[in-house]
C-alpha cells in the first residue's frame, strides 16, 4: 500500500456496471461461501499498546466464557447444521486452536472444510509489528495449519482485523492468493501488491453475525431475514455477472439455541433456490484466477484512468 498517502492504493476503481461478466460453474449466479471463525481467545494475553483485548480486568469471565462457548457448544451445533444442508466451511482460523483444541480443528477437517489464517490468537494484534515480527506470524500460521491438517492456507483474514501497511504485500510474497480484509465489492478483484498476485475475496462486515447481533442489535429472525434478502438480491444481480455472498459466522453467536433455528431457514432457502454455487473461498479463488477473470478485471480497471497507472 502507499503508506501515509490519502489513497492507500489497494486497488483500482471499477464501477459495478461495465465489467467483464463473471460466469460461475454450472450457470449459477451467486457464489455462496460460509466462513466460520474458529477462534481461540486467551484468558490473560499480554497487552498490545495499540488495542486492549478485554474490557474487564483479566479474567473477563463473560467475555472469555462467551468465546469458549463457541468451541464447547456452538461449533458442533453450527457445523452439523451446515453439513446437513450441504454447506462446506472455509474456516477463518486462530491457528493456536490447532494446539489448544485439536478436536474442533479435526472436526472441521473431517467435514472437508478448508482453512485460512485469522492469526495466531484473536487476542493478539498485528498493530505495531515490525516486518520480522509479522513474517514470523505469517510463517507460524502457514506451518501450524500445514502440520495440523496437511492443508496449505491460501487466504488471510487479519487477526481481529488488525493489519500493518505491509500485511498484503507479505501474504502475497508467501504465496497466499486471497485476502478477506477488503470490503469494497461484491465480486473478487485484483489487489495491488509488491510481488506475486493477490485477489480480494468478498467477506462481509454488514452481514457478519457479530455485526448483525451486536452492532445492529438484530433479533435472530431479523438476522435470518437479512441474509435471505442479501442472497436474493445478489443472486438476481448475478444473472448479469456472477456475485459472491459470504456468510461470516462465529460459533459463539450463531450456535446459540435461540439463533440457530432461524439460521437453518437461511441455509434451507439458499440450498433450495438453485442459483447458488455453494462453495468455498478456495474454489472461488481458483475459478477467478484460472478463467481469465483476474486479467479481465484489470482490463476493466484500465478504462477508468488515474488509479490504473499507480
Partner 1 sequence: MTLDPACLEYSRRHHGMDHDLYPYSSLFARPDVLWPGDKKIAVGVLVSLEWFPIVPGKAPFKAPGHMQTAYPDYRHYTSREYGTRVGFYRLLDAFAARSIRASIAVNAAIAERYPSIIADIIAAGHEIVAHSTDMDGTIDSTLPETEERAIIRAARDTLAAATGTVPCGWLSIARQQSWNTPRLLVEEGFAYACDWVNDELPYIQSTAAGPLVAVPFNHELSDRQIITVEQHSAESYVEQMQDACNWLAGEAQSRMLPLHVTPYIMGLPFRMAAFETLLDWLVARGDCAFLAGAELAAPFLQGLKP
Residues that bind partner 1 (CB under 8 A): 40, 42-44, 46-49, 56-62, 64-66, 68-69, 71-73, 76, 96, 99-103, 120-121, 124, 127-130, 133, 136-137, 213-214, 217, 219-221, 256-262
Could you tell me the smallest distance in angstroms from the CB atom of residue 134 to partner 1?
A: 9
CA distances from 77 to 34, 104, 264 (A): 15, 12, 11
What is the rounded distance in angstroms from the CA atom of residue 80 to the CA atom of residue 251? 12
Considering beta carbons, is residue 102 or 305 the nearer one to partner 1?
102
3-state secondary structure 252-303: HHHCCCCCHHHHHHHHHHHHHHCCEEEECHHHHHHHHHHCCHHHHHHHHHHC
Q: Which residues are 33's β-sheet partners?
A: 246, 279
- Grouping H, G, I as helix, E, B as strand and the rest as coil, residue 75 is helix
Could you tell me the smallest distance in angstroms from the CB atom of residue 227 to partner 1?
A: 16
Could you tell me the smallest distance in angstroms from the CB atom of residue 281 to partner 1?
A: 26
Cis ω on the peptide bond leading into residue 30 (within 30° of 0)? no
Given a contact cutoff of 8 angstroms between Cβ atoms, the answer to whether 105 and 38 are in contact is yes
Considering beta carbons, is residue 56 or 236 the nearer one to partner 1?
56
Phi-psi category of 141—alpha, beta or left, where left has phi over 0 and alpha has psi -120 to 50? alpha
What is the rounded distance in angstroms from the CA atom of residue 20 to the CA atom of residue 240? 10
- Grouping H, G, I as helix, E, B as strand and the rest as coil, residue 169 is helix
Considering beta carbons, is residue 66 or 233 the nearer one to partner 1?
66
Could you tell me the smallest distance in angstroms from the CB atom of residue 282 to partner 1?
A: 26
Considering beta carbons, is residue 15 or 49 the nearer one to partner 1?
49
Could you tell me the smallest distance in angstroms from the CB atom of residue 185 to partner 1?
A: 30
What is the rounded distance in angstroms from the CA atom of residue 73 to the CA atom of residue 53? 23
Considering beta carbons, is residue 21 or 261 the nearer one to partner 1?
261
Could you tell me the smallest distance in angstroms from the CB atom of residue 179 to partner 1?
A: 21
Considering beta carbons, is residue 3 or 306 the nearer one to partner 1?
3
What is the rounded distance in angstroms from the CA atom of residue 230 to the CA atom of residue 32? 11
Considering beta carbons, is residue 127 or 174 the nearer one to partner 1?
127
Considering beta carbons, is residue 23 or 72 the nearer one to partner 1?
72
Q: What angle do CA 210, 123, 208 make, to 5 degrees?
A: 15
Could you tell me the smallest distance in angstroms from the CB atom of residue 160 to partner 1?
A: 13
CA distances from 122 to 134, 272, 308 (A): 15, 35, 35
Q: Which of 11, 304, 37, 305 is nearest to 184 (CA)?
A: 11
Could you tell me the smallest distance in angstroms from the CB atom of residue 198 to partner 1?
A: 23
Amino acid at each position: 500500500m502507499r503508506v501515509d498517502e490519502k489513497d492507500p492504493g489497494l486497488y483500482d476503481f471499477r464501477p459495478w456496471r461495465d465489467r467483464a461478466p463473471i460466469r460461475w460453474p454450472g450457470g449459477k449466479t451467486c457464489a455462496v461461501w460460509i466462513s466460520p471463525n474458529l477462534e481461540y481467545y486467551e484468558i490473560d494475553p499480554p497487552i498490545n499498546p495499540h488495542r486492549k483485548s478485554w474490557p474487564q480486568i483479566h479474567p473477563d469471565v463473560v467475555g472469555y466464557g462467551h468465546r469458549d462457548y463457541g468451541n464447547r457448544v456452538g461449533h458442533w451445533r453450527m457445523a452439523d447444521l451446515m453439513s446437513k444442508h450441504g454447506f462446506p466451511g472455509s474456516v477463518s482460523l486462530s491457528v493456536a486452536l490447532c494446539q489448544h483444541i485439536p478436536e474442533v480443528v479435526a472436526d472441521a477437517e473431517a467435514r472437508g472444510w478448508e482453512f485460512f489464517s485469522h492469526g495466531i490468537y484473536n487476542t493478539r494484534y498485528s498493530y505495531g509489528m515490525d516486518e520480522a515480527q509479522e513474517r514470523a506470524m505469517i510463517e507460524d500460521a502457514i506451518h501450524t495449519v500445514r502440520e495440523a491438517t496437511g492443508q496449505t492456507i491460501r487466504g488471510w483474514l487479519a487477526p481481529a482485523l488488525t493489519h500493518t501497511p505491509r500485511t498484503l504485500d507479505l501474504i502475497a510474497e508467501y504465496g497466499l492468493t486471497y485476502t478477506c480484509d477488503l470490503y469494497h465489492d461484491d465480486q473478487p478483484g485484483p489487489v495491488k501488491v509488491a510481488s506475486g498476485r493477490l485477489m480480494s475475496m468478498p467477506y462481509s462486515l454488514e452481514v457478519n453475525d457479530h455485526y448483525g447481533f451486536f452492532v445492529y442489535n438484530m433479533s435472530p429472525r431479523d438476522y435470518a431475514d437479512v441474509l435471505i434478502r442479501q442472497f436474493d438480491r445478489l443472486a438476481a444481480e448475478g444473472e448479469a455477472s456472477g456475485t459472491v455472498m459470504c456468510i461470516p459466522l462465529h460459533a459463539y453467536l450463531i450456535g446459540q439455541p435461540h439463533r440457530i433455528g432461524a439460521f437453518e431457514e437461511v441455509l434451507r432457502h439458499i440450498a433450495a433456490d438453485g442459483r447458488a454455487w455453494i462453495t468455498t473461498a478456495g474454489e472461488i479463488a481458483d475459478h477467478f484466477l484460472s478463467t481469465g477473470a483476474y486479467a479481465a478485471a484489470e482490463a476493466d480497471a484500465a478504462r477508468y484512468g488515474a488509479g490504473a497507472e499507480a
